[in-house]
Structures are given as C-alpha cells and as structure tokens.
C-alpha cells in the first residue's frame, strides 16, 4: 500500500477490480486497510467487468427488434451478480436484501429494452439509462461486501451528486451545482464515519434525468468528487502497476514510471496508452489535488504519481513510448494546393461530416500535401468524401489525387524534458534508421512534450522496442 495517509481520499476502482468474486474481495480488503488509515474515505466503482458492454449491446439489439439478446443478458446479469453474492456475503438476510435490489435493476433493464424494441430506436437518453445500471448494481454489491467485513459503508447514486447538462452519453458537469450536492450528501456520511460507495460514470440533469459522462466516466466521477469535496488526493485503482514506459505486451521489460506531469499523462492518453482520459484529470489539476494510479492486484506497488510540475533535474528526457494500431494515412496532394486558402478548412469539414475523429495531422511546409491518420476502417469513406468535396479541383488537376495507405501505426515518444533538450528528434529518428524502420509522416505539437510519427504496421515491435531502449538510456542520464 502507498505509504502516505491523506485525511480525505477518493479511491476509484475499475471494472477488472470488481470483475470476479476474488477481485471484489481484493478490492474490499484494500478499502478496509485504507479505512484504518484515512478517516474520510470515498469509494467510486465501475460496473463489474463486461457488464456495461453487455447492457449497451443488448439495447442496440433491442432497437433492431432482437429480443433474444436482451433476454439472455437478463440471465447473464443475474448469474454474474448471484455468483458474487453467494461467494462474498454469507449473511442470508443481507444477501437477500442486495439480491432484491439488484433484481429490481435488472427488471428496469428488461423494461427499458422492451420499450426500445417497441420504438425501434435507442435514443441517447435511453442508452444512458441503460448504461448506468451496471454501476448501480455494483455499488450495492460492494457496499454489502464491506458491511460484511465490518466496514460501515453505504451506496450512493452519483445522480445525487454529479449535476450535468442534457448532453446525453457525454454530459458536461455543472461544477457549482455538483459542489453543493457533493458536499451536502457526502459530508453527512463522512461525519458519521461511513464510507460512501458511489456509482461511477453517471450523473443527472437538474430535473433528475440520468446521464453518463462518456469515455473515462468513472475516473471523471472520482476526479469531480475529489475536486468539489475537496479531497486531499484521488487514487485510481486499475490492473497495471501505474503508467508504464511502454506496452508490456510489446516490450516485456517495460517498467512503471514513478512520476509524470499532467501534460505528459495527457499526451500519453491521447497517444493510445491505457491511462487516464485527459478530461478526467482536468478537475484535479484545477483543484491542485494529488493523483495516483495504482494496481488493485499488486497494492504494495507505489504506482505512478501525477503532479503539475517536476523540477528540471528530475525530468527524464523521454519517459514513455506508445503505439496506436489500426490506423490508415489518408493523403490529399497536388501542386495546385500551394498558396490556395481554405483547402485545410474544407478538408476538415468534409471529414467532420462523416463523424470521423482524426488521430494525427501532418502537412508539408510546401502546402502540397495534407496527411491525416484515421481508423483504418474509415479510410475508404473518407477518401470518397474528400474526392466529392474536391471534385472540381481534381478535374482541373489542382489536386492530383486522394488516397489511403493500408494499415499503419502511430508511435509517440513522450517526455517533459524534451522541451529543454536539443537533438531529441535526431536521436529518435537515428535510432529508428539504424533499425531500418521507415517513417512515413511526422507530427509534433507546440508543447514539445511529444513527437508522433507514422510507420508501417509490421515495424511496430522493432520501433517500440528500439525507442524503449532510448527511454531507458536517456532516463539513466
């Protein structure tokens, strides 16, 4: 366990931390031990592993008129939660109480799917109501397990705490209203020595309609509670030993990074690392609260501490290397583009109209080509959209062609120390050149905290391992 003992602490546990009865036991033991050290402790939990996907896939199937999928899901939900109940809560009366509460939520799920099936449409509002059910089941179960271990706990629906707008599926919190609600509800419980177990991911409008916070929602819930309560620290418990120097599936020798700045972790998250979503950490940054990423299954590991700034002497030049697979590079090129205003604006507008997110942008200073990295399964649609947008220019030969590569990979090296160290890009590309890895396109933001480049998919292991060796070498300086 982490040595420090904050007076007020928010701990968030991800789906794998409550994925099996054994994992829930481990999570409950972590909470029990920390409760002895921290007088004011708040727990935020995700749904049991796999439950949210099951709920949303069932709702989508119901919209297509498929009732079998959600009927099977009802049984799966019952079995999954029943197995945890029987394994973790021997007290029959408490077991029956929790079982009844979860059964009612499963019935709500079945009724929602039935209504979606009748309408033939799953609206964003309906999907939020469905998606939030997984966390609502999980808090009842986890609070019951803690009570069984003699930890005074009470589940709390985040719809009572997180006040949002009505932008369903990716709602935006109203911070002043959230602060008022969070303090009113949680401080009452904390003053009584109770551990609130809060649903992650969800919130509600001022009128009480359930919303969800989008990607990274449960982490975001923890950050919002930590910032508005306020807490001394927020700890995110997951299934890895913090933020790694590389994906250990590619680089077996990858190690945990002890400290990262918020800028670095934001770049890593955007660049494909399995870390906090950038919006998650914004409330924590603004509130000046400590943040740490820890491993539920290795609680003695100190994990990664996230800070606003690091002393220059402590800044490794390169800290981590990440890779985003499954990309394609779409290129718009032509000599007639040179000096013509509006080409980039029209390019991005055409892509936005398809609903596609651009992962990386690279443009030559000559303005004769714009390269865009996008998910490989969207490349054909984007090429067609750009050909339609620039039909006249293609006919006049102002634009020579619009084309897409096969699958490529975006590799990114990240490190705060890159900003003050000359020659980092030279070292990166020299190392790749020595291994005969061809770089197709390059992009670097003005923050200079990261360099991203595109390579052929078959070179991913060579590139990441080579650059990881550079991480270790530069970190040892």
Residue 92 lies in a domain: yes
Q: Taking the model in full, what pTM does it have? A: 0.85
Distance CA 423, CA 261 (A): 22
| pLDDT tens-digit series, residues 323-337 | 999 999 999 988 777
Residue 379 has pLDDT above 80, yes or no: yes
Phi and psi at 398, nearest 5°, equal -70, -35
Q: Check: CB of residue 263 under 8 Å from CB of residue 445.
A: no
Residue 84 has pLDDT above 50, yes or no: yes
Residue in the structure block whose two tokens are 């006049």: 396
Residue 81 lies in a domain: yes
Residue 214 has pLDDT above 80, yes or no: yes
Q: Tell me how far the alpha carbon of residue 446 is from its chain's centroid.
A: 24
| pLDDT tens-digit series, residues 171-190 | 999 999 999 999 999 999 99
Helix axes 262-270, 278-287, angle to 10 degrees: 170
363 band by pLDDT with thresholds 50, 70 and 90: confident
Distance CA 106, CA 111 (A): 9
Residue 460 lies in a domain: no
Q: What is the CATH number of the domain that holds 143?
A: 3.40.1160.10
Q: What percent of the chain has pLDDT over 70?
A: 93
Q: Regarding predicted confidence, which is higher, 448 or 366?
A: 448
For residues 234-239, give the mean pLDDT: 93
Q: By mean pLDDT, which of 114-118, 185-189, 283-287 is the weakest?
A: 283-287
260 band by pLDDT with thresholds 50, 70 and 90: confident
Phi and psi at 258, nearest 5°, equal -70, -45
Residue 72 lies in a domain: yes
Residue 230 lies in a domain: yes
Spatial strand order in the sheet of 40-45:
153-156, 195-199, 40-45, 8-13, 233-238, 290-295, 304-307, 259-261
Residue 38 lies in a domain: yes
Phi and psi at 89, nearest 5°, equal -125, 95
Residue 139 lies in a domain: yes
365 band by pLDDT with thresholds 50, 70 and 90: low
Average pLDDT in the chain: 90
| pLDDT tens-digit series, residues 129-163 | 999 999 999 999 999 999 999 999 999 999 999 99
**What domain range includes position 223?**
8-239
Residue 192 lies in a domain: yes
Burial class of residue 392 in the structure, from the number of CB atoms within 10 Å of its CB (0-12 exposed, 13-18 middle, 19+ buried): exposed
Q: By mean pLDDT, which of 52-66, 106-120, 413-427 is the weakest?
A: 413-427
Residue 276 has pLDDT above 80, yes or no: no
Residue 46 has pLDDT above 70, yes or no: yes
Q: How many domains does the chain have?
A: 1
Q: How many residues does the chain have?
A: 477
Question: CB neighbours of 394 closer than 8 A, spacing ≥ 6?
Answer: 387, 401, 402
Q: By mean pLDDT, which of 263-267, 336-340, 415-419 is the weakest?
A: 336-340
Residue 414 has pLDDT above 50, yes or no: yes
Tell me the C-alpha to C-alpha distance, in Å, between residue 374 and each of 258, 351, 461: 32, 10, 21
């Amino acid at each position: 366990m982490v040595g420090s003992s904050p007076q007020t602490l928010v701990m968030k546990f991800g789906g794998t931390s409550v994925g099996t009865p054994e994992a829930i036991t481990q999570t409950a033991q972590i909470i029990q031990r920390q409760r002895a050290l921290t007088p004011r402790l708040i727990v935020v939990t995700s749904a049991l592993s796999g439950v949210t996907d099951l709920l949303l896939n069932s709702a989508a199937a119901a919209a297509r008129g498929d009732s079998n999928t959600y009927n099977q899901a009802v049984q799966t939900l019952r079995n999954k939660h029943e197995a945890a109940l029987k394994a973790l809560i021997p007290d029959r009366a408490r077991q029956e109480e929790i079982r009844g509460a979860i059964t009612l939520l499963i019935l709500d799920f079945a009724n929602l799917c039935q209504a979606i099936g009748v309408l033939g449409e799953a609206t964003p509002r309906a999907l939020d109501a469905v998606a939030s059910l997984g966390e609502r089941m999980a808090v009842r179960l986890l609070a019951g397990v803690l009570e069984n271990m003699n930890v005074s706990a009470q589940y709390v629906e985040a719809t009572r705490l997180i006040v949002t707008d009505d932008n369903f599926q990716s709602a935006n919190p109203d911070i002043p209203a959230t602060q008022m609600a969070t303090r009113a509800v949680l401080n009452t419980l904390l003053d009584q020595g109770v551990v609130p177990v809060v649903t992650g991911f969800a919130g509600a409008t001022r009128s009480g309609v359930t919303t969800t916070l989008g990607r990274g929602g449960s982490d975001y819930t923890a950050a919002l509670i930590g910032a508005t309560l306020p807490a001394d620290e927020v700890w995110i418990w997951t299934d890895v030993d913090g933020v790694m120097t590389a994906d250990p599936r590619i680089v077996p020798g990858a190690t945990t990074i002890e400290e990262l700045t918020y800028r670095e972790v934001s770049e890593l998250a955007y660049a494909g690392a399995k870390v906090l979503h950038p919006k998650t950490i914004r409330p924590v940054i603004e509130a000046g609260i400590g943040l740490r990423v820890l491993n539920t299954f290795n609680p003695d590991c100190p994990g990664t501490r996230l800070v606003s700034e690091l002393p220059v002497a402590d800044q490794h030049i390169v800290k981590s290397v990440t890779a985003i697979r499954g990309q394609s590079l779409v290129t718009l090129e032509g000599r007639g583009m040179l000096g013509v205003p509006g080409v980039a604006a029209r390019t991005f507008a055409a892509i936005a109209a398809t609903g596609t997110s651009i992962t990386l942008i690279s443009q030559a200073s000559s303005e004769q080509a714009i390269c865009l990295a996008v998910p490989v399964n969207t490349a054909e649609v984007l090429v067609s959209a750009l050909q339609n947008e620039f039909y006249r220019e293609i006919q006049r030969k102002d634009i020579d062609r619009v084309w897409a590569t096969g699958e490529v990979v975006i590799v990114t090296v990240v490190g705060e120390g890159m900003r003050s160290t000359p020659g980092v890009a030279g070292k990166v590309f020299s190392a790749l050149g020595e291994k005969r890895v061809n770089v197709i396109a390059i992009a670097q933001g003005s923050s200079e905290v990261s360099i991203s480049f595109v390579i052929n998919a078959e070179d991913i292991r060579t590139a990441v391992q080579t650059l990881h060796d550079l991480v270790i070498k530069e970190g040892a300086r």
